[in-house]
Chains A and B, each alone.
Chain A
Amino acid sequence: MTKQKIVVIGAGMASGRVLETLTEAAPEQFDITLFNAEPRGNYNRIMLSPVLAGDQTYEDIVTHDDAWYADRGITCRFGEKVTEIDRDAKIVKGANGDVAYDKLIFGTGSEPFIIPLPGHDLDGVIAYRDLEDTERMMSMGEGNKVVVIGGGLLGLEAAAGMAARGVEVTVVHIMGHLMERQLDEAAGYLLRKSLEGKGITIKLQANSKEIVGEDGKVKALMLDDGTELPCDLLVMAVGIRPNTALAKEAGLAVGRGIHVDDQMLTSATDVYAVGECVEHDGAVFGLVAPLYDQAKVLGQTLLGEEAAFVQKTLSTKLKVTGCDLFSAGDFAEGENREDIVFRDPSRGVYKRLVIEGNKLVGAVMYGDVADGNWFFQLIKDETDIDEMREMLIFGPAYQGGEASDPLSAVAALPPEAEICGCNGISKQTIVDAIAAGATDLGAIKSTTKASASCGTCTGLVEQVLQVTLGDEFKMPAAQSICGCTDHTHEDVRRLIKSMPLQSQEAVWQELGWKTRNGCHVCRPAINYYLLADWPLEYKDDPQSRFVNERKHANIQKDGTYSVVPRMWGGVTTPAELRAIADAADKYDVPTVKVTGGQRIDLLGVKGEDLPNIWDDLNKAGMVSGYAYSKGLRTVKTCVGTDHCRFGTQDSTGLGIKLEKILHGAWTPHKLKLGVSGCPRNCAEATCKDIGIVCVDSGYQISIGGAAGMDVKETELMCSVPTEEDAIEVVLAVTQLYREGAKYLDRIYKWLGKVGMDWIVEQVVDDLENRKALAARFELSQTIYNHDPWADHVEAKADKYAPMADLTLEAAE
């Protein structure tokens, strides 16, 4: 196949992007020749200001170096001018010879506009356009004086860059305020103040009259009011205009720029134009975003794909350190337009929104530009802002439902701020880890331990990632369970039910686990999901449980355990108390403590004594209190109608019944209940996972309370008239939670995800479903409603002792 011959005139940012597109998509398809008047290839012109300011070097901003062109087989004819184009013969004539083309691309860019003042051709009068200009400005330093004509984006960046080098800079601007195309007067004023603060002199409404020279070299700028501004260099930054001379000579249709259609085709067959040299639908272009859009369209067109260039609203940011300004859209005043303005003079903040009809059409901000992109999005999307109009100017933080931007808070944290309290990890440590290549949550966890313990700082860690990495970090919509799998908890739960998967091996195999048999994070979750969804088919695996649930006691920091027998509803007897006291004596229990759940905790029991103390407590009629479990803990009660003069129902009795029915059930996280006999709520039922408050007419059942790391009040789910109804509703909602929630989500978290409306539909309104849920719970309880202590005493007491004791043998 013969290659298509493409000739490109001008190595700028737009044509550079076209070359990237073509050589990436079809490296073998094109034979490309690139002419450039500048003796070099493509560099990032918009970064010249940082180069001038000394923040970057030229090498930093080179987009395509010699090797890049060589790798792609592009013939470079740099520093060579195109002298003529023969459209009939399809030939481009350069100073060093002719090149034939199949397709010709004009990327001739723009040229700076030089005001034809007397003296404009003196040495030391330059524009701000290319690297030579930049280097000329960089040669200025302390003791030099420079005048910049033009108070637009480019002129101000030039002025600020040189001022930073110690040059005495004066900006001469013909208009009444700076950057009049992007800013209104108020923002222009604040910008002027800020620049003056950097030592730059600003002269507004100043008409230049003449450039004064000496020995062919610039000496001063004379204004028409007679003021003389001495200078060693004069920079004209008063605008650009499309470079169309060659196109005109070639006979192309040219207005302000080279006319192109939506596919960037000029008036001539097989001749295209892209970038600052074009005029599209009456507009010319100077900012980079639309140039890249054009380049993309042209690239696709040449590759035979359908594409059309569409003009979009633009936003601007000034690249001057310490001057935060943002502007987007159109903010000229008009008949149907209204303004919303916010000023805070002491902070130097100004914001103005321009509204037409129900839409935001323009935004100007100075001092605080954090919300700029949000406003820009509203403009681009033509969002109807009628409903948020009142608070619109305050940004997304004050819009209903949408949370304030937490990133700003995280960004403002000092480096030593502690992000992960469990492991004492500072923001700096995380930032360092990110710099070292840990660019997602899993990597941060494994390299720093941040968020690897309780996990409540996960959100913060993700925000540090986002603040540090910017757009490179995609906030995960849903996190996978752990490094063993890419599946989320939700996915796995769904697949366990639907596939169906009824064993751990099936999960590892069918869902493509990356490890042999999971890890300490996923195994307990999978074990729970399997036993909750398949109570009869799946057998609970103690080896996939955390030590507390495997040994039915809470491990303490010294490796001893705590033992908590159940006291149903918080009610005990003298006989039980005696048995507890005897056990405490017999096994040298160092601490006996009353818990928050209305029972007694024996702390400091040695592991090998566990079966013995359980056996003693069993004999006194007590069973495991499951104080260690992701399962039912306690049902806290008040004394209700038995003794209390305010009690409306038998709260103690209901609490005991519930605890007996729910005892032994595993749930995604711990489950605490409370039953109060009247709205005085002595059992604190409204900060439990499930709370019942008795009233004269029956029982108010609410869910989603917590009093731990988060403190939450319950939300009312329903009121029912009888105790029987109350029990059924509690069983049903517990089962709904067991079947749906993510492992380690308390009810309040699950509630936050599924919403109370849905829960009410399932448990309260649909009576048939309520009964079905309660029945499934009871089915599961046929397996799990039992005392594990008794089981262990009977079946595996010997496993609690060491396997062997070699201390005696070795001592022989």
Chain B
Amino acid sequence: MSWIDIGDINDIPLRGARIVKTQVGCIAVFRTAPDEVFAVSDTCPHKQGPLSEGIVHGQSVTCPLHNWVFDLNTGQAQGADEGSIPTYPVRVDGTRIMLDGEAVSRRTAA
């Protein structure tokens, strides 16, 4: 793994998200109420809604377009909806957020 520093955790609102542009598309980096950080694809598989703009609750996010709910741990859609979003390795070093550079460039490298 090659960890890339993408910014400070305080740049993301609590129970919110920011996006990171990568070679594999926009990735939404979430910060939950107890400061857990998750990185998943920003794009809802249903109608490509921007998940980073959804309401963050527990360890889930609700897509702002049609209320699909995704578990940020697994990327799986919850309830009746079927689908999933890619998840990416991410960790917090102090207050710095580190994203796995290999994971976000893998598809272009292949």
Contacts and interface: CB of A to CB of B under 8 A. Distances in A.
Interface of A: 446-449, 452-453, 515-520, 523-524, 542-547, 550-551, 555, 557-559, 607, 799, 802-807, 809-811
A687 to B, nearest CB: 29
Contact of B55 (A449, A546, A559, A607): A546
B23 A806 contact: yes
Contacts of A452: 67
B80 A448 contact: yes
A452 B68 CA distance: 10
Closest 3 CB pairs of A and B: A520-B62, A803-B18, A810-B105
Interface in B11-57: 11-16, 18-23, 26, 29, 33, 47-50, 53-57
A543 B101 contact: no
Given A803-B20, A804-B21, A805-B20, A557 B47 contact: yes
A608 B67 CA distance: 23
A549 to B, nearest CB: 11
Contacts of A447: 79-80
A520 B57 contact: yes
Contacts of A448: 80
B101 A523 contact: no
Nearest to B81: A449
Given A804-B7, A810-B104, A515 B58 contact: yes
A544 B13 CA distance: 11
Given A516-B33, A517-B57, A802 B80 contact: no
Contact of B14 (A520, A543, A809): A543
Interface centre among A809, A810, A811 (most CB of B within 10 A): A810
A810 B15 CA distance: 29
B80 A806 contact: no
B57 A559 contact: no
A557 B65 contact: yes
A802 B18 contact: yes
A543 B11 contact: no
Interface string B58-91: 1010101111010000000001110000000000
A559 B11 contact: no
Contacts of B18: 799, 802-803
Nearest to A542: B13
A807 B22 contact: yes
| Candidate in A448, A449, A559, A811 with the most chain B CB atoms within 10 angstroms | A559
Most buried by B among A558, A799, A803: A803
Contacts of B13: 542-543, 799
16 contacts: A446-B80, A448-B80, A516-B33, A516-B58, A517-B57, A519-B58, A519-B69, A520-B54, A520-B55, A520-B62, A542-B13, A550-B53, A551-B53, A559-B50, A803-B7, A805-B21
Contacts of B15: 517, 543-544
A135 B53 CA distance: 69
Contacts of B26: 802
B19 A519 contact: no
Contacts of B23: 806-807, 810-811
B55 A803 contact: no
Contacts of A446: 79-80
Given A519-B58, A803-B7, 5 more contacts: A446-B79, A517-B15, A557-B65, A803-B20, A810-B105
A452 B69 CA distance: 12
Given A449-B79, A557-B65, A809-B4, A803 B104 contact: no
A558 B64 CA distance: 12
Contacts of A520: 54-55, 57, 62, 67, 69
A555 B57 contact: no
A516 B57 contact: yes
Given A517-B58, A807-B21, A543 B64 contact: no
A802 B101 CA distance: 17
A805 B47 CA distance: 24
A555 B67 contact: no
A246 to B, nearest CB: 61
A418 to B, nearest CB: 16
Contacts of B57: 515-520, 523
Contacts of A545: 55
Contact of A806 (B16, B21, B54, B81): B21
A442 to B, nearest CB: 11
A524 B6 CA distance: 30
Contacts of B64: 546-547, 555
Contacts of B48: 558-559
Contact of A543 (B56, B79, B81, B105): B56
A810 B21 CA distance: 10
Contacts of B53: 547, 550-551, 555
A803 B11 contact: yes
B72 to A, nearest CB: 13
Contacts of A559: 48-50
B87 to A, nearest CB: 17
A803 B6 contact: yes
Contacts of A453: 66-67
A449 B81 CA distance: 8
Nearest to B25: A807
A572 B47 CA distance: 37
A806 B55 contact: no
A608 to B, nearest CB: 10
A607 B26 CA distance: 13
Contacts of A519: 55, 57-58, 60, 62, 69
B71 to A, nearest CB: 13
A551 B16 CA distance: 12
A527 to B, nearest CB: 10
A515 B14 CA distance: 17
A810 B20 contact: no
Taking each of B26, B55, B56, which has the highest tally of chain A beta carbons within 10 Å of its own beta carbon? Answer: B55
A523 B33 CA distance: 13
Nearest to B106: A810
A803 B19 CA distance: 6
Contacts of B79: 446-447, 449
